């Protein structure tokens, strides 16, 4: 993406393939980077804190659940600063954090 304001869209299957190519099949190890504070987080980080990561690990900063960490950013808010959206099989589109190790 050359334009800093451009939002990239990708199909969910391609997004899942990208995650697997970066981190392997265990989705608990996939790392995401908060667009606001830069926190790197994985599903395992949520699980370790007894928080269900489903729907959050790629969408909300861990600080939203643990006030001692990071920020409380979520991609579901009024300000839209995300760089990627995933297109699901049903046609719905949702914003996601970028993978932490993308080049």
The predicted pLDDT at position 1 comes to 42
Q: Where are the domains of the chain?
A: 8-99
In our burial notation (b when 16+ CB lie closer than 10 A, e otherwise), range 55-80 reads: ebbbbbbbbbbeeebbebbebeeeee
Return the pLDDT at 91: 95
DSSP H stretches of helix in the chain: 12-23, 43-48
Residues whose CB falls within 8 Å of the CB of residue 28, separated by 6 or more in sequence, listed in order:
42, 43, 44, 47, 53
The reported pTM is: 0.90
Residue 4 has pLDDT above 80, yes or no: no
Residue 80, helix vs strand vs coil: coil
pLDDT for 28-60, tens place per residue?
A: 999 999 999 999 999 999 999 999 999 899 999
Q: Which of 24, 4, 9, 2 is nearest to 101 (CA)?
A: 24
Residue 2: the pLDDT is 45
């Amino acid at each position: 993406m050359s334009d800093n304001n451009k939002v990239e869209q990708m199909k969910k299957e391609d997004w899942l393939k990208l995650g697997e190519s970066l981190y392997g099949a265990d989705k608990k190890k996939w790392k995401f980077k908060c667009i606001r504070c830069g926190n790197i987080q994985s599903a395992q980080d949520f699980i370790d804190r007894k928080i269900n990561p489903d729907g959050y690990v790629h969408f909300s900063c861990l600080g939203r659940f643990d006030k001692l960490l990071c920020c409380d950013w979520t991609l579901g808010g009024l300000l839209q600063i995300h760089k990627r959206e995933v297109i699901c099989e049903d046609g719905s589109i949702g914003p996601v954090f970028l993978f932490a190790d993308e080049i």
